Structure formats: C-alpha cells, structure tokens
Amino acid sequence: MDRNPIFSTSRNATAGGSNTSVLRPDETIAETLSMLQRYKVLFIFLTNSGGLTETDHAVHIDHHLGLHFSGDQFVQSYTPFRTLVPQLQDATVLVLGGRVVGIEPNIYTFAELSALNHLASGRDLTSIPRTADGRLKIDAIFVFPSPRDWGLDLQLVLDLILSHNGILGTSSPKNGDPSLPNRGYQQDGQPGLYFCNPDLTFAAKYPQPHMA
C-alpha cells in the first residue's frame, strides 16, 4: 500500500500511506496532517504493517511527527484478520512471521495460539488443544509479514495442507486421488491458509527493497 501516493481523497475523508510515505523527512506532511486535524477532516493511514499493532503504529507516528493519532486510524495488512475472530475464536491458529505475534493476542491470535517460534523451539504446548491421542491439530494458518525462517514456514504449511484434518505429522489418504475434486488435495479437513498481504517486496528505511 505504501507504493501509492501519500494521500488520496474522497468528498468526506482522506486516506494516507504511512511508513515510507509519512516517515519521509518532509515537513509538509506534518503540516498537512495538522491541517486535517484542525479542520476535523476524517482520515486514516493505510500501511503494510512494519510489525506493529495499530496502537503501536499510532504511537510511532506520533513520536515522529509530533502529532497525536489513534490506533483506530490505522488500517494495516493484517487488520482484516479481526473479522475472523468470531469464526476462529476457539480454534488453534498457526501464526507465521511478524513481530506482531503475541503483542495483542486477544486481537490477532484468538483463544488458542500455536506460534511458529513455539513449534520451532520446543516450548511448552500443553495449553494447546490436542486430539485424543495427543497430536497437535491446527485449524487455520495465518501468514503475517516478515517471516523469520522462510524454509521452516513453508515446510510447516506444506505438511499441514497435505495432512488429514490438520493434524501435524499425518498425510491425507485422499491426496492424489483422481476420482476426487482437485485430485483429492484440500478435501480432507485441512486448515485454511490466510495471507495478510500478497506482496513479496516492500519499501523500508533501507534503500533496497525489503523481501517479506
């Protein structure tokens, strides 16, 4: 989203890109935002994320521009995940990538969270619901920006979308069956896979594009 012009307007509101747009050393940006606040023009910021929650992003921009913003004014690439809370509030969700993991679990990671670093480091997973025989079952996979280990992420995703009913370490007997739709793939209760952003590269403070 940060590739767009800094501001785009409608009759009643304004949307602005943050991160690489608003954080550029340009005093006219602060002046423009201050004017919008003074005249009570509604506006929001659209951004990929930067690994922050909306509230933390507001504080970050506050400090940089010397103005005050609300977290409700920030729409980030993973903000739409909130709409899945009613559907997945009792689910076990595997979250990949992003420093945002664990910052506000009541908003992003729902009731039970199995984060990538938990699986990779062998942390205690006794609080995560399991099958009757003790195996870990994943109901959904969320991919946030800035993965820490792409290879491990991809392997976990592959294992789970080929699994039986999202149970880690299993393989669906339906995989490759020509008599089934899609040759049996994704036909056996595998977890849904949700990406918050389709982009592969992002602009950042570093002069070269950031792969995330």
49-64, pLDDT tens digit by residue? 666 778 888 888 888 8
Q: Which CATH number fits domain 80-196: 3.40.50.1000, 3.30.750.24, 3.30.1370.100, 3.40.50.10860?
A: 3.40.50.1000
Q: Does residue 145 carry a pLDDT above 80?
A: no
pLDDT of residue 93: 82
Q: Does residue 31 carry a pLDDT above 80?
A: yes
pLDDT digits (tens, 9 = 90+) for 191-210: 999 888 777 776 666 677 77
Residue 6: band (very low, low, confident or very high) from pLDDT cuts 50, 70, 90: very low
pLDDT of residue 113: 43
Structure token digits, residue 63: 């400090």
Q: How does the average pLDDT of the chain come out, rounded?
A: 75
Tell me whether the CATH fold assigned to 7-77 matches the one assigned to 80-196: yes
Share of the chain above pLDDT 70, in %: 68
pLDDT digits (tens, 9 = 90+) for 114-142: 444 455 445 556 667 778 888 888 888 88
> Spelled out in words, what is the top-level CATH class assigned to the domain 7-77?
alpha beta
Residue pair 140/94 in contact (Cβ under 8 Å)? The answer is yes
pLDDT of residue 205: 66
Structure token digits, residue 17: 């890109």
Q: Does residue 94 carry a pLDDT above 60?
A: yes
Q: Average pLDDT of 136-154?
A: 81
Bridge partners, 202 (sequence order): 210
pLDDT of residue 103: 41
The residues spanned by each domain of the chain are 7-77, 80-196
Share of the chain above pLDDT 90, in %: 17
Bridge partners, 107 (sequence order): none
User: What's the CA gap between 179 and 199, in Å, rounded?
Assistant: 35
pLDDT digits (tens, 9 = 90+) for 158-191: 999 999 999 989 999 999 999 999 999 999 999 9
Q: Does residue 3 carry a pLDDT above 70?
A: no
Residue pair 108/87 in contact (Cβ under 8 Å)? The answer is no
Beta-strand pair 140-143/112-115: unpaired
